[in-house]
């Protein structure tokens, strides 16, 4: 009866078809969200692997290692004994399902995972902690895990070396946390987070990390005080830095606007705020042009930074070029980094999380190291 009616009255059945289409795409969306994305050193996707959640812990099939770590790996699994042997990079790892101990030979090393490997539907599965904790002991790699976005980045250790590349010690990097003081709060989130505090937290975290990695960082302000643009520029140019990073947060009337954004000062770029930028431009054109001498370097650094921070971003970060008064008088390569939208609930939540602040700071330090190393290398090649 229902079928006959359906064919007789196609227009009435259209909503049912639409409902099915929506249902299918919705479930497809959920399926996509249950994968972990593996990312390589250059930000490229190595694999997208479906995970199983067991007691809120992410588990991945042991054979994932073959795709993302070592294609030569063998992983014989002894079903009755529930014992998994991984042979990779000249090492042999022995694991038992339900047991958190990992034994590695040669060397008789023992590691304790924070969750045991498990046989799920007869398949040996490894907890996410295995990837984070064990892989760096098997090869010269570093592993970064982003729980919120379910991403793992496996990159060569040399990128984030504890030893300082030649010449890097001479680099002075100026970090400029925007706003500050009682009357310049910047933008504000619904949960009471101020831009001036977020950017200062990130700046201080960068400074803390830089001490461990031999980079000289100067902050334009290290406490909650008001600084004019001129004062910031004076501090910056007096320190004769090699790189300038201005930190800000965004706000929008549209609550769904979110994400990290990068800006470079380019007077030929698209004007950022049509109504206010034009009169300022006329007066400041000469100053803006001086920063432009560093346009190429600013673009280079921005793209390194983009690659590093993309790991933390839901959507790929966009670099925009505008005439930017904030960077106009800065006589060195410079970028303006907007860490997220405080008007967006997701971004505001992330930016109030100290772990996320630390991840951002780490990403910025990585980018500085990578960029300074590449500049030093090309300087060496040119005989400077
Ligand atoms: Zn701002």
Query: What is the residue-wise DSSP string for 34-100?
Result: TEEEEE-TTS-EEEEEE-EEETTEEEEETTHHHHHT-TT-B--EETTTTEEEEEETTEEEEEETT--
What is the 219 CA–ligand 1 centroid distance (Å)? 16
What is the 336 CA–ligand 1 centroid distance (Å)? 10
Q: What CATH number should be reported for the domain whose range is 35-157?
A: 3.30.457.10
Q: Which residues contact 196 (CB under 8 A, 6 or more apart)?
A: 177, 178, 179, 180, 181, 184, 185, 186, 224
What is the 248 CA–ligand 1 centroid distance (Å)? 4
What is the 356 CA–ligand 1 centroid distance (Å)? 19
Count of other CB atoms within 10 angstroms of residue 79: 10
What is the 180 CA–ligand 1 centroid distance (Å)? 10
Q: What is the pLDDT of residue 160?
A: 46
Q: What is the pLDDT of residue 380?
A: 67
> Residue 323 and residue 288: Cα distance in Å, rounded?
7
Q: What is the pLDDT of residue 251?
A: 94
What is the 178 CA–ligand 1 centroid distance (Å)? 6
The pair of structure tokens assigned to 350 is 């992330």
What is the 183 CA–ligand 1 centroid distance (Å)? 13
The answer to whether 348 touches 190, Cβ cutoff 8 Å, is: yes
Residue count of the chain, please give it: 384
pTM of the model: 0.75
CA torsion sign for 89, 95, 97, 101 is negative
The pair of structure tokens assigned to 129 is 């902690």
What is the 330 CA–ligand 1 centroid distance (Å)? 17
Domains 35-157 and 161-379 share a fold: no
What is the 195 CA–ligand 1 centroid distance (Å)? 7
∠ CA 366-370-371, rounded to 5°: 115
107 phi/psi in degrees, rounded to 5: 115, -15
The pair of structure tokens assigned to 167 is 């010449």
Angle between helices 354-381 and 295-310 (to 10 degrees): 140
The answer to whether 260 touches 340, Cβ cutoff 8 Å, is: yes
> Residue 319 and residue 213: Cα distance in Å, rounded?
27
Count of other CB atoms within 10 angstroms of residue 129: 18
What is the 186 CA–ligand 1 centroid distance (Å)? 5
Domain boundaries, the chain: 35-157, 161-379
**Chain centroid to CA 348: how far?**
16
Q: Which residues contact 289 (CB under 8 A, 6 or more apart)?
A: 267
Q: H or E element: which one contains 265?
A: strand 261-265
Look-up of token digits 């991945």: 60
What is the 98 CA–ligand 1 centroid distance (Å)? 50
What is the 208 CA–ligand 1 centroid distance (Å)? 22
Low-confidence ranges of the chain (pLDDT < 70): 1-33, 158-170, 269-292, 379-384
Q: What is the pLDDT of residue 76?
A: 94
> Residue 83 and residue 103: Cα distance in Å, rounded?
12
**Chain centroid to CA 80: how far?**
42
What is the 185 CA–ligand 1 centroid distance (Å)? 9
Q: What is the pLDDT of residue 166?
A: 57
Smallest Cα–Cα separation from 148: which of 9, 353, 342?
Answer: 353
161-379: CATH superfamily: Zn-dependent exopeptidases (3.40.630.40)
């Amino acid at each position: 009866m229902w079928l006959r009616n359906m064919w007789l009255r196609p227009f009435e059945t259209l909503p049912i078809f639409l409902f099915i289409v929506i249902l299918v795409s919705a479930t497809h969306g959920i399926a996509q969200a249950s994968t972990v994305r593996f990312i390589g050193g250059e930000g490229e996707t190595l694999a997208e692997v479906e995970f199983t959640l067991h007691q809120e812990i992410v588990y991945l099939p042991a054979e994932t290692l073959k795709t993302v770590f070592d294609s030569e790996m063998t992983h014989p699994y002894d079903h009755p004994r529930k014992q998994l042997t991984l042979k990779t990079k000249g090492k042999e790892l022995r694991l038992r399902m339900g047991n958190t101990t990992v034994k590695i030979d040669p060397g008789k090393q023992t590691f304790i995972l924070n969750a045991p490997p498990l046989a799920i539907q007869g398949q040996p599965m490894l907890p996410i902690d295995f990837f984070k904790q064990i892989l760096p002991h098997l090869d010269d790699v570093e592993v970064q895990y982003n729980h919120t976005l379910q991403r793992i980045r496996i990159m060569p250790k040399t990128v984030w070396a504890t030893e300082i590349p030649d010449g890097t010690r001479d680099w002075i990097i100026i970090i400029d946390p925007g706003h500050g003081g009682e009357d310049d709060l910047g933008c504000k989130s619904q949960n009471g987070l101020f831009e001036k505090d977020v950017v200062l937290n990130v700046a201080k975290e960068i400074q803390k990390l830089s001490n461990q990695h031999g980079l000289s960082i100067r902050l334009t302000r290290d406490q909650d005080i008001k600084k004019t643009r001129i004062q910031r520029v004076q501090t910056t140019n007096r320190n004769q830095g090699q790189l300038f990073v201005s930190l800000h947060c965004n706000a929008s009337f549209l609550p769904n606007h979110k994400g990290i954004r990068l800006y470079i000062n380019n007077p030929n770029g698209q004007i950022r705020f049509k109504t206010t930028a034009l009169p300022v431009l006329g007066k400041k054109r000469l100053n803006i042009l001086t920063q432009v001498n560093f346009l190429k370097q600013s673009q280079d650094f921005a793209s390194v930074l983009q690659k590093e921070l993309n790991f933390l971003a839901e959507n790929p970060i966009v670099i925009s070029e505008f005439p930017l008064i904030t960077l106009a008088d800065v006589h060195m390569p410079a970028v303006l980094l907007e860490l997220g939208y405080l008007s967006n609930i997701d971004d505001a939540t992330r930016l109030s999380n100290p772990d996320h602040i630390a991840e951002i700071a780490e990403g910025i330090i990585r980018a500085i190291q990578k960029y300074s190393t590449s500049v030093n290398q090309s300087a060496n090649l040119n005989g400077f």
